[in-house]
Chain A
């Protein structure tokens, strides 16, 4: 699943090592992603969990090599099937995006082209990336909509994005992402903008597709509940760093990092009525002026001297479970 060992990395579908992304802005250097290391095997689902601004989307875009070169500093390695995405030329990257890996976004309305029908957009993807002729592509487009369980595929194919509901748009988006038979799906909060009853459908669909097609998925979410529904393992991000990695059950049963623990306690659950919530005090740090030590220290109930002085490194907790905290050492 998530392996920190060198030997395992050779087999991983995706291996990210010391990935850092910083943006040059007028106010200073925004250190959005810092030394992120993880790997993902074929057919597994990793939840990238964290609050807004923690660096989830920037990490995902770096995996696709989508960050523009201007005013952006990207360092580290992103090995996709053994090839470093950052060392490929744009044409080769484009081939990766059209084949091995695709992406699903939070707001399909911004990712879909408003002036083409859903059918035209799927067919275009298939013609470009799969080299199908129009007839073959049309047939395949219809199959793809069946695959994502669109109730009336013909009507959906003929519709423009604004003519269908939010849930249907997200299904269409997933169909496009699956058009090129990817091995890795990067999903950035694909259910966040949806109503809860529709979210349940899309989560269930993604889980079903993932299992049937043997997809590897990185599922970005800020929602612990969503991660619990879909992931095999999770990486929790805080201020651009992964602070804890664990198999999903371990994360919920034995969170090791005080931030993860804090998140679990702050989340409103069923049957909690009458008991005060335990919030995490304060707010995340400014990424332009990250503290020297642990970035969580100003909010951490257990912080001590060492936390302010030195950055904690990753310490193993159990098999596949590690946390970046001095207390775990």
Chain B
């Protein structure tokens, strides 16, 4: 669970950057860059869940696609089990693709409408060389495990299932190759609350059963706190704070993390929000503010916040924050993580 037990990280991400060109005009010339992910580093240890939280457009999905090398970064490295993913030869990459799987938010868009769900789950096994009959048996067993009786559901098509059932199929499909790491991009965000709880429980059980490691992306802080051991808070393509879920919940340091917690409804009519914690919307990642990207919404912004971006500094055990307010508090630079 913790890096303290000596195991090396399963996933090491260093300095990842991805800027998307925005083209326009008659000649489709690039006239601006979307700075989707801008210098992100973190480690994920075997069997832990790293939660990634942030508002729409802060770069979460781009980061997920970079980790799986579905898109190529402009800079930075991803190491999986010590191996540089970018340098992997095609046969190695095929192996790595088995070990790292992605589960998407929209359970409908990500399923092939022309395959029965049994075939959809068996598909990647067949691609990886498993005989058809065996692949189907394993797919059916896995469907049963995620709560879909294969006798009832195996021959159905994706459009004949509810959102929650489709997400179960997606999870089965991601697990069929026995991966080590699952990157889950908003896996429960499209689901109703009652079904969300079913899927969260399933994910927790599967993780324990199969000693899986999760990178769990969500914009819902309650869900992130619930599932994660450690949390990464992103704002406009950058990491602004990282720490254990408990440390963040109990003493969030970055003004943005604090505002995120304070903005979540309390679920108690007697403790309503007295005033909105933040003003304004997140700025456009096309032209992020200079210096600290949060400064246009920060109540504590100082002149120097506009000049240079603050770097992540340790403020506690495995707790780091990128904000000038904590410079004095910062302890000796912790080893990269």
Contact = CB atoms under 8 A, between A and B. Distances in A.
Contacts of B259: 197
B195 A283 contact: yes
Interface string A271-287: 11100111111010000
Size bin of chain A's contact surface:
35 or more
A316 interface: no
Interface string A173-203: 0000000000000000000000111111101
A255 B291 CA distance: 49
Nearest to A168: B281
A268 B222 contact: yes
Interface in A154-174: 165-168
B196 A266 contact: yes
B197 A196 contact: no
Contacts of B177: none
B200 A268 contact: yes
A271 B201 CA distance: 16
B158 to A, nearest CB: 15
A196 B219 contact: yes
A281 B266 contact: no
B278 A200 contact: yes
A77 B265 CA distance: 35
A269 B200 CA distance: 13
Contacts of A200: 262-263, 265, 273, 276-278
Given A51-B193, A269-B267, A279 B198 contact: yes
A290 B268 CA distance: 33
Contact of A273 (B196, B197, B226): B226
A195 B282 contact: yes
B187 interface: no
B24 interface: no
A266 B267 contact: no
A199 B269 contact: no
B52 interface: no
Nearest to B147: A281
Size bin of chain B's contact surface:
35 or more
Contact of A151 (B225, B273, B280): B280
Contact of A267 (B193, B269, B272): B193
A158 to B, nearest CB: 18
Contacts of B198: 279-281
A223 interface: yes
Interface string B163-201: 011000000000000000000000000001111111011
Interface in A280-319: 280-281, 283
Contact of A198 (B246, B265, B275, B281): B281
Contacts of B165: 283
B281 A225 contact: no
A43 interface: no
B196 A196 contact: no
B261 to A, nearest CB: 8
A224 B267 contact: yes
Contact of B192 (A222, A265, A273, A276): A222
A160 to B, nearest CB: 16
A204 interface: yes
Nearest to A193: B56
A1 B42 CA distance: 52
B75 to A, nearest CB: 28
A144 interface: no
A228 B266 contact: yes
A6 to B, nearest CB: 29
A52 interface: yes
B264 interface: yes
A272 to B, nearest CB: 6
Given A271-B249, A276-B201, A281-B198, A196 B269 contact: no
A139 interface: no
Contact of A224 (B193, B196, B275, B279): B193
Nearest to B275: A204
Given A196-B220, A281-B198, 17 more contacts: A51-B194, A195-B55, A196-B55, A197-B259, A201-B278, A225-B265, A226-B265, A229-B266, A229-B273, A252-B267, A268-B222, A273-B245, A273-B246, A279-B197, A280-B195, A280-B198, A283-B164
Interface of B: 55-56, 162, 164-165, 192-198, 200-201, 204, 219-223, 225-226, 245-246, 249, 259-260, 262-270, 272-273, 275-282
30 contacts: A51-B192, A51-B193, A167-B280, A167-B281, A196-B219, A196-B220, A196-B221, A196-B260, A197-B55, A197-B282, A200-B262, A200-B265, A200-B273, A200-B278, A201-B278, A204-B275, A204-B276, A222-B192, A223-B193, A224-B267, A228-B269, A229-B266, A249-B269, A252-B268, A263-B193, A269-B222, A272-B222, A278-B197, A279-B194, A281-B198
**Nearest 3 pairs of A and B residues by beta carbon:** A225-B265, A279-B197, A280-B194
